[in-house]
Structure formats: C-alpha cells, structure tokens
Amino acid sequence: MKLIYFDNAATTRVDDDVLKAMIPYFTEKYGNASSTHFKGQEAKNALEDSRKTIAKAIGAKTSEIIFTSGGTESNNLALKGLFFWNQENNTGKNHIITTRIEHDCVLNSCRWLEKQGAKITYLDVDAEGLISLDELEKAITPKTILVSIIHGNNEIGTIQNMEAIGSICRKKGVLFHTDACQSFTKVPIDVRKQNLNLVTLNSHKIHGPKGVGALYIQEGIPITPVSHGGGHERKIRSGTENVSGIVGFAKAVEISKKKDIENMIRLRDRLIEGILRIPNTKLNGSRTKRLCNNVNISFNNIEGESIGGYLEQIGICTSTGSACASHSLETSHVLKSIGLTPIQANSSLRISISKYTTDEEINYFLENLARIVEKLRKISPIK
C-alpha cells in the first residue's frame, strides 16, 4: 500500500541532509557545550554556528536566540517569564492580550496565568480567522505587558499581518510576541521590520528533529526564568543544550527553499480546487492569507473522523484538528472561533502537505476523496 503523509502541520519527516548533519554530534562530537576542553568547544562552536543561522533567518542578532525543547516550552517561557518579571518588579502590569485561535500551549499558559493574577484578553477573529486591528488597539491598556498573536494558524492556516500588529504595539509601547511554529521558513519573518520582541520557533515542522526549538528575545527584554539550573542560554533556560538536535534544526533552516514554498502553493491550490468541486464543501480560513501547506475543509453532513478513517485504510494520513487536540473529542476551538457550528466543525478535515508532496499524490487523494465522501453521504443520518 502507498503511504501518503498529509499531516505535515502535526510534524514532518526529517530531511536526509538534516539527519546527516546531526549524526556526528551523537557519535564523534558528543561533548557538552559547557565543557572548557576541546570536546566541549567543538560542541560549543556547533551551537553558536546554529544560533547564527537561526538568528539570520529572522533578522535577529545571534545573541538574541535562546534554544529550548520546542514550541511549547518557548511559548511558556515567553508568557510566564514576562509575567513573572513584572510581578517581581512590582510594575503594576498584569495584562496579556492574545487570541481565541492560539495553539493550546499559549491558551493553557494564559489560563494558568489567570490563576496567578493575570488578566487576559482573548481577541475574537473573523470568519477567515483574522483579528481586528481596531479591537487589538482598543484592548491595550496601561497595564498591558504583552500582545501574543499566532503568526500562521496550525488548524486553518490563516496568516496574521505581523507588520500591522507590530506597528500598533510599537505605537502603544507594549511588547509583541508571536508563535511562528507553523510559519517559520514559509512566510517571511523580520523581527525589526515587524517590531517583534519575542518569537517562538521550532524544528519539527520544517523537516528538523522533534524536541528542539528556540525563543528569540530582543536584547534588553527582561524575562524571569521558569526553570532553574546551571544558567545555560544566557541564564534564561538552564539545561545541557541538545547539540545534535540544534545542529539539525539549523540545517533544516539552511536548506529551506523559496522554490519548495512556491511548489507547495501550487499543490495546495490544486487540492483546494479539486476538493471544492465536491458539492457542499467549504474551505475554512482565508483563501489568500494562507500557509502554503494548509488545506482545511468542512464536508457538512459527514464526520471528518470518518473521512479520515477511510483515507487511512488506503494509506493516507490526514487530521481532524491540531495533533494535540486530536487527543480529545472536543470540537476545535479554532473552528468554533471562525463561526462554524459544531456539526460543521466536526465535519472538517485538515490536509497539510510538505516539500515532498507530489502531483501524483494529489491526484490519488482527490480521486479517492470524492468516492469516500459520496459513500459516506449516502449512509449519513444527517441530511
């Protein structure tokens, strides 16, 4: 049976060149980057070269990149670290603005911070998943510490306008953080132009290894550490650095190509057009402000889970929400936020492609999807 992997928003295959770059850091160059001897320095050099590559990719200084264990940790560190610093320094500021369509690691951090005394504003989004810039501006108060808004959404692929949000934050004198796990290397990020003070990045969405990420923290932004130890990573994130993983992460960034993005856009559009030919289907998210690898469709009267199950039987992996949310049977908070009814939301399927996706895979998928949907609609009790 063919394997067609269309769940690249959950994670991606590690690129062969990434793996090749990592291997020596397990077997030969296994030193601890904090050791002063030559084995340690070998690892330290690799760590600093990787930091340089990642900083350059977002227009940051090398010293502004902190390595972490991934997107979840970076988002927790950004939100909690800033909140704790404000508490410790009695600034009187306790307000964070975010959106209703963030990844769970931002939403659940915010919910936890509410119990510690934070006030959180959750901005609504429109039918395409875009925030209102007016509402954002109105929500900022003298107590606002931070605006944290996801760049490219993991479920519906909507891309927010970083420049516009950044300029509002600059004008109002509040900090701006974005979770760029889904958009990194796919949509340009320039921390100076977009006035970004903090950016969350990770490796496993871009053909790098799992368990590695970074947080860009602009020089001079105070962050209180959330875990304590030997003072690694500018005393902000203690713990022996995952050198092999970090080398792989940097390699994944280095080999990312504009040509691959353009090809994904073409394949994504083939998918969207092909699927929308099936009657009674609807594209979720924005047609134009959309990640190159994301397709999310509602099929109305049939369950996304059933479509996914039938596709899986013929070797096609898709998803009905974010990878984390699929642990629960709850209706997606993102689809609810863009106005879908629970029935519409539960009839949705996310198809996320990668640079390895081919036209043949798209053809095979479209042929089989039309057949599966027709079959399921015939037996569906909801008409």
By CB under 6 A, is residue 162 in contact with ligand PLP? no
Listed ranges 109-117, 157-165, 174-182, 286-294: which one lies at the site for ligand PLP (CB under 6 A): 174-182
* Cβ neighbours of 370 (radius 10 Å): 14
DSSP string, 1-30: ---EE-BTTT--PPPHHHHHHHTHHHHT--
DSSP state of 95: E
Alpha helices, H only, 140-179: 162-172
By CB under 6 A, residue 182 contacts ligand PLP: yes
Under the binding rule (CB under 6 A), the answer on residue 103 touching ligand PLP is: yes
Decide if residue 71 touches ligand PLP (CB under 6 A).
yes
The DSSP annotation for 216-256 comes to EE-TT-----SS-SS-TTTTTS-S---HHHHHHHHHHHHT-
CA distance 99 to 147: 9
| Residue numbers 113-152 binding ligand PLP by CB under 6 A | 150
Residue 296 forms beta bridges with which residues?
350
| Alpha carbon distance 37, 258 (integer Å) | 40
Our finding on whether 7 is near ligand PLP (CB under 6 A) is no
Interface pick for ligand PLP out of 81, 213, 245, 321 (rule CB under 6 A): 213
| DSSP-based three-state secondary structure for 126 | coil
* Residue among 182 and 346 whose Cβ is closer to ligand PLP: 182
Size of site (CB under 6 A) for ligand PLP: 14
| 317 flagged as catalytic | no
Burial of 324 (C-beta count, 10 Å sphere; 0-12/13-18/19+):
middle
**What string marks each residue from 227 to 256 as x (binds ligand PLP by CB under 6 A) or -?**
------------------------------
| 154 belongs to the binding site for ligand PLP (CB under 6 A) | yes
Which is closer to ligand PLP, CB of 31 or CB of 157? 157
Cα three-residue angle 253-256-259, rounded to 5 degrees: 165
**Cα(369)–Cα(358) distance, integer angstroms:** 17
- Candidates 53, 72, 195, 320; binder of ligand PLP (CB under 6 A) is 72
Binding region for ligand PLP (CB under 6 A) out of 66-74, 80-88, 295-303, 353-361: 66-74
Q: Which residue is nearest to ligand PLP (CB)?
A: 71
Q: Does 337 bind ligand PLP (CB under 6 A)?
A: no
Sorted by sequence, the CB contacts under 8 Å of residue 297 that are 6+ apart come out as: 272, 275, 276, 281, 282, 283, 284, 348, 349, 351
**Site for ligand PLP contains 296 (CB under 6 A):** no
Binding flag, residue 12, ligand PLP (CB under 6 A): no
Under the binding rule (CB under 6 A), the answer on residue 105 touching ligand PLP is yes
Contact assessment for residue 306 and residue 176, using Cβ atoms and an 8 Å cutoff: no
Q: Which stretch binds ligand PLP (CB under 6 A): 69-77, 137-145, 238-246, 332-340?
A: 69-77
One residue of 15, 179, 241, 361 binding ligand PLP per CB under 6 A: 179
> Which entry of 169, 181, 317, 324 is annotated as an active-site residue?
324
Q: In what order do the strands lie in the sheet with 175-179?
A: 65-68, 213-217, 198-202, 175-179, 144-148, 95-99, 119-123
In the complex, the smallest distance separating the C-beta of residue 63 from ligand PLP, rounded to whole angstroms, is 23
Residue placing its CB nearer to ligand PLP in the complex, 94 or 98: 98
Using the rule CB under 6 A, is 70 a contact of ligand PLP?
yes
CA–CA dist 350, 345 (Å, integer)? 11
The three-point CA angle 77-160-317 to 5° equals: 80
CB of 152 to ligand PLP, least distance (A): 7
Which stretch, 35-43, 176-184, 266-274, 280-288, contacts ligand PLP (CB under 6 A)?
Answer: 176-184
Q: Left (φ > 0), alpha (ψ -120 to 50) or beta: where does 99 sit?
A: beta
Closest CA to 348 of 315, 325, 368: 325
| Among 323, 358, 360, 374, contact with ligand PLP (rule: CB under 6 A) | 323
What residues are labeled active site? 324
- Residues contributing to the site for ligand PLP (CB under 6 A): 70-72, 103, 105, 150, 154, 179, 181-182, 202, 204, 213, 323
